[in-house]
Amino acid sequence: MGEGTIYTEKIFDAEAILANGNSSTNAIDLRDKRPSGQFSIQLELTGDGTATVEWLGSNNGVDYLVPSTVSEIVTGFTKTSGPGSDGKDIYSFTPKLCRYMKIKVTETTTTDAIAVTATLAIQ
């Protein structure tokens, strides 16, 4: 990727997540993307549950951790979140320096499932 190039990848495609469950992407090798530090995720959520979205980092490709002093990308996201109250929005976030990253979505209620579609953008 050249400087200024934006890399995008659909990382969830109507991924069903049961109540109180979670799903993580495959490892994303950031070395190949050569990010300049700009990250965003476009979310679309359906279902009656509530989602928390976070990123996990790894330098060894085995252990994926939520680094200390890092906040979730978004919490409390529902089918009525977003500027159009339609369960769609874009969030920017700033990962710590690491070679690999995963995005994890957790449904945070104990009764309702969700389906998540998400596209990651890296510059």
Q: Which residue has the higher pLDDT, 105 or 35?
A: 105
What per-residue confidence (pLDDT) applies to 3?
61
**Residue 1: pLDDT band by 50, 70, 90 thresholds?**
very low
36-60 residue pLDDT tens:
789 999 999 999 999 999 999 999 9
Q: Where are the domains of the chain?
A: 7-122
User: What CATH code would you report for 7-122?
Assistant: 2.60.120.660
**3-class DSSP state for residue 119?**
strand
Nearest to 109 by CA among 66, 47, 65: 47
CA 95 to chain centre: 11
62-73 residue pLDDT tens:
999 998 888 899
**Residue 31: pLDDT band by 50, 70, 90 thresholds?**
confident
Return all residues near 85 (Cβ < 8 A) that are at least 6 apart: none
